[in-house]
Amino acid sequence: MKIDSKMRRIQQKYKIKIEAKNKKGKDALVVASIILFIILLLFFEVKFPYFEEDAIKPVATDDYQKKWMDVTQEIDDTLKDNSEYTGIAIDFSPEPIKLILKTSFEKTNVMGNDHLNELISIANESITSNNLPASLKENETYKIIVTGKNKEEIARGTFRNDE
């Protein structure tokens, strides 16, 4: 019995050594394949999208639209003090340009056109002070629309580039 247990231990040690040797060979093969893959990438100059030069860039707006977008921010800052004003939107397509002033008014409870005309007037002053009507084509218009709580149009002002 002593001989069998000794042989068993020797066989187990031998088996463990062979398994370790095989595992080392597999690990070396994985490392070699990774290195080969990296070399191939560098050789063929594969470009990765996370590099700045290859990254997806936002769609560039032309200066014309950028100027109008800057004015919407200015109008928003000016009208924030008004309690009924809730926000602003701009629509370039389809023509004409539409600035939409969002308010909390309900169409049936409007306090008169004076308050709505004042909102339109303030927005138009910002537009004209930035000389944006001059950037419009001849006879092209822009509209300032005031919408109410339910997104229904309450008032509208249409302006030309010659005004």
Verify that 137 and 73 share a domain, yes or no: yes
**Of 8-22, 54-68, 105-119, 142-156, which one has max mean pLDDT?**
142-156
**Number of domains the chain is built from:** 2
Verify that 40 and 67 share a domain, yes or no: no
- DSSP classification of residue 134: G
**Residue 148: how many CB atoms within 10 A of its CB?**
21
Strand positions, DSSP E, 13-160:
85-91, 97-103, 141-147, 153-160
Euclidean distance between CA atoms 46 and 41, whole angstroms: 5
Verify that 38 and 100 share a domain, yes or no: no
| Angle subtended at Cα 160 by Cα 158 and Cα 163, rounded to the nearest 5 degrees | 110
For residue 95, the model assigns a pLDDT of 82
For residue 101, the model assigns a pLDDT of 93
Q: Is the pTM of this model over 0.85?
A: no
For residue 2, the model assigns a pLDDT of 62
Note the pLDDT tens digit of each residue in 47-105.
555 555 555 556 555 677 888 888 899 999 999 988 889 999 999 887 888 999 999 88
Contact between 99 and 144 under an 8 Å Cβ cutoff? The reply is yes
